[in-house]
């Protein structure tokens, strides 16, 4: 149904397959008017992309429905997933001018919060992200790593989170986080890095700018330098086919726009709706969820992950939920006793775990 490349559209035209019911998503159709002219385009839907006036006339005459790009919005609602460099374009001149910062300001603008047009743009955008994300993670074992945003680069806990992400990716899992700073950045960094010595070098370089506070700009610049110069990861467009080999995925939200996205991801699925984002992140963690130290937001994610485990019948193996940090989760934030009480006598009892060392996590995660 969805055509996401000009090559795929060319194949359809070459073999004479009817175009009825197809969705052309985010394509540049410049010069395609003559190839489409005179065809039955009834039911063909064109979603965004570049559609010059002459091509639009051909499409409409043939019976197609054309949804153009939407003006006055800081995002392209049809684009789907982002590369980190897409969100941080122009950061050399300061974070405030980047697409990520502009999208956040637009999102929190009080005059637009209930505006029907802005609401439509956000809904289309998030649906496009979900559609692309489904294709990206298809058939992969996805392991979620949750944890607080306040963890500083250079700390022992940051390094441990990075080693965890690296080990999970080396075991063939796609590591997914909330895509923000702190523990999330560390896990994405470790997952993206394919060599242990490069990871150590990256950790050393990043420690010089430990936090995104008080200024996101140097924090983001240092990370982009490390991604390019230490990890050797090029800037590349994100395609759904990349998902079969991807190691690191970030799923952040502009709802928490004060927490900038980290750049150590193969792809970034950034949402306006935090509710859709949180549910989608946890639902895609087919290989399990690992929870590092955190506070209110992390606790919320724990119990969101627990609910389907609690109501499970036990007819199928349950994805594990692994909490890391005995003292933190039993004394500082006593979540573990609540989990054990909920799990008593239920299939989920065998799916929840508490460990002290991230080295113990990979053996508890499903293959």
Q: In this predicted model, what pLDDT tens digit does every residue of 75-116 receive, in sequence order?
A: 989 889 999 999 999 999 999 999 999 999 999 997 888 888
CB 174 within 8 A of CB 192: no
> Could you read off the pLDDT of 326-364 as tens digits, one per residue?
999 999 999 999 999 999 999 999 999 999 999 999 999
Which pLDDT does position 36 carry in this prediction?
Answer: 94
CA 256 vs CA 24, 48, 262: distances in Å: 32, 27, 13
> Could you read off the pLDDT of 310-334 as tens digits, one per residue?
999 878 889 999 999 999 999 999 9
CA dihedral 308, 312, 314, 316 (to 10 degrees): -60
Q: Please check the confidence at residue 71 and state whether its pLDDT lies above 80.
A: no
Which pLDDT does position 17 carry in this prediction?
Answer: 83
198: region left, alpha or beta (phi > 0 left; psi from -120 to 50 alpha): alpha
Tokens 């009817």 label which residue? 18
What CATH number belongs to 130-286? 3.40.50
d(Cα 79, Cα 223) in Å, to the nearest integer?
Answer: 24
Sequence-ordered alpha helix ranges (H) in the chain: 6-14, 33-36, 53-61, 84-87, 99-108, 116-136, 156-170, 183-192, 196-206, 216-225, 274-283, 296-310, 326-327, 335-343
Q: Please check the confidence at residue 367 and state whether its pLDDT lies above 60.
A: no
- The SS3 of residue 120 is helix
Per-residue burial over 85-122, b = 16 or more CB atoms within 10 Å of its CB, e = otherwise:
bbbbeebeeebeebbbbebbebbeeeebeeeeebeebb
Which pLDDT does position 240 carry in this prediction?
Answer: 64
> Could you read off the pLDDT of 17-50 as tens digits, one per residue?
888 889 998 899 999 999 999 999 999 999 888 9
Q: Enumerate long-range contacts of 115-122, CB under 8 Å, 24 or more apart.
A: 117/70, 118/73, 120/70, 121/70, 121/73, 121/75, 121/77, 122/77, 122/272, 122/273
Which pLDDT does position 73 carry in this prediction?
Answer: 84
Among the listed ranges 68-77, 136-145, 251-260, which one has the minimum average pLDDT value? 68-77
Tokens 């950061």 label which residue? 91
> Could you read off the pLDDT of 218-235 as tens digits, one per residue?
999 999 999 999 999 988
> Could you read off the pLDDT of 118-163 as tens digits, one per residue?
898 999 999 999 999 999 999 999 999 999 999 999 999 999 999 9
Tokens of 211: 């936090």
CA atoms within a 13 Å half-sphere pointing along the CA-CB vector of 66: 20
Which pLDDT does position 249 carry in this prediction?
Answer: 98
Cis peptide preceding 46, ω within 30 of 0:
no
Predicted TM-score of the model (pTM)? 0.91
Domain residue ranges in the chain: 2-67, 130-286
Burial tier of 316 (Cβ tally within 10 Å: 0-12, 13-18, 19+) = exposed
Q: Which residues contact 333 (CB under 8 A, 6 or more apart)?
A: 294, 295, 299
Mean residue pLDDT across the chain: 94
Q: Cβ atoms within 10 A of the Cβ of 312, count?
A: 16
- Give the closest residue to 262 by CA, choosing from 176, 348, 154, 167: 176
- Give the closest residue to 69 by CA, choosing from 44, 52, 85, 81: 52
- Give the closest residue to 192 by CA, choosing from 252, 248, 240, 244: 248
- Give the closest residue to 76 by CA, choosing from 50, 45, 110, 55: 50
d(Cα 25, Cα 78) in Å, to the nearest integer?
Answer: 7
> Could you read off the pLDDT of 171-188 as tens digits, one per residue?
999 999 999 999 999 999
Strand partners, 15: none
Q: At residue 340, what are phi and psi to the nearest 5 degrees?
A: -65, -35
């Amino acid at each position: 149904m969805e055509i996401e490349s000009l090559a795929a559209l060319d194949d359809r035209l070459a073999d004479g397959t009817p175009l009825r019911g197809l969705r052309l998503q985010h394509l540049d159709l410049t010069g395609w008017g003559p190839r489409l002219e005179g065809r039955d385009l009834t039911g063909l839907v064109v979603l965004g992309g570049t559609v010059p006036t002459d091509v639009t006339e051909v499409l409409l005459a043939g019976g197609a429905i054309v949804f153009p790009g939407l003006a006055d919005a800081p995002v392209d609602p049809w684009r789907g997933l982002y590369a980190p460099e897409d969100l941080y374009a122009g950061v050399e001149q300061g974070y405030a001018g980047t697409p990520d910062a502009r999208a956040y300001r637009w999102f929190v603008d009080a005059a637009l919060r209930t505006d029907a047009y802005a609401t439509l743009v956000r809904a289309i955008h998030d649906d496009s992200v979900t559609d692309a994300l489904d294709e990206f993670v298809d058939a992969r074992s996805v392991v979620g790593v949750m944890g607080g945003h306040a963890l500083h680069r250079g700390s022992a806990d940051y390094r441990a989170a990075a080693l965890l992400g690296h080990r999970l990716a080396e075991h063939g899992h796609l590591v997914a986080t909330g895509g923000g700073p702190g523990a999330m950045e560390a896990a994405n960094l470790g997952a993206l890095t394919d060599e242990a010595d490069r990871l150590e070098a990256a950790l050393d370089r990043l420690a010089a700018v430990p936090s995104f506070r008080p200024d996101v700009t140097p924090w983001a610049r240092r990370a982009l330098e490390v991604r390019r110069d230490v990890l050797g990861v090029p800037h590349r467009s994100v395609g759904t086919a990349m998902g079969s080999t991807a190691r690191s995925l970030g799923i952040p939200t502009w709802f928490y726009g004060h927490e900038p996205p980290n750049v150590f991801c193969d792809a970034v699925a950034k949402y306006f709706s935090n509710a859709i984002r949180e549910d989608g992140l946890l639902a895609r963690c087919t290989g399990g969820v690992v929870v590092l130290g955190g506070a209110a937001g992390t606790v919320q994610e724990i119990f969101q992950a627990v609910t389907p485990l609690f109501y499970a019948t036990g007819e199928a193996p349950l994805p594990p939920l692994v909490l890391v940090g005995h003292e933190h989760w039993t004394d500082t934030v006593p979540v573990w006793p609540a989990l054990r009480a909920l799990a008593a006598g239920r299939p989920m009892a065998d799916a929840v775990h508490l460990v002290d060392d991230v080295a113990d996590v990979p053996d508890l995660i499903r293959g």
